[in-house]
Amino acid sequence: MVNDPFKALSHPIRRGIVERLAGGPASVGEVTRDFGVSKPAISKHLKVLEETGVITRVVEGRTHRIALKPEVLDEAAEWMERQRAIWERMFDVVDEYLKEKR
């Protein structure tokens, strides 16, 4: 498993799939409708989401149901939060420096 949530979210179609799955599990057809790309392209996007652990797939007869695993995205969210905190501190330092120069 690649386990890289940033790779999973790096393409707008994959982000769209994740957004749609935020409402709950659904069939592949329901989730990927109206993206305007071929089925092979959708399959590649789903494969990336599965390899990174962002979604799971259950096959029920001919229907493939997929579900979001939001805990996998927690790693990315925590990293972004740490980066935001660092940048906020850096901007505060710059702001203080500029105030002193006035």
Calculate the average pLDDT of the chain: 91
For residues 28-42, give the mean pLDDT: 94
> Within a 13 Å sphere around the CA of 82, how many CA atoms are in the beta-carbon half?
6
Reported CATH class of domain 5-101: mainly alpha
Domain limits of the chain? 5-101
- Please check whether residue 18 is in contact with residue 68, taking contact to mean a CB–CB distance below 8 angstroms: yes
pTM for the whole structure: 0.78
For residues 12-39, give the mean pLDDT: 94
Distances in Å between the alpha carbon of 91 and those of 25, 83, 94, 96, 102? 41, 12, 5, 9, 17
Give the pLDDT score at 2: 47
> Within a 13 Å sphere around the CA of 9, how many CA atoms are in the beta-carbon half?
15
pLDDT 10s digits, 61-71: 999 999 999 88
Structure tokens at 87: 């940048």
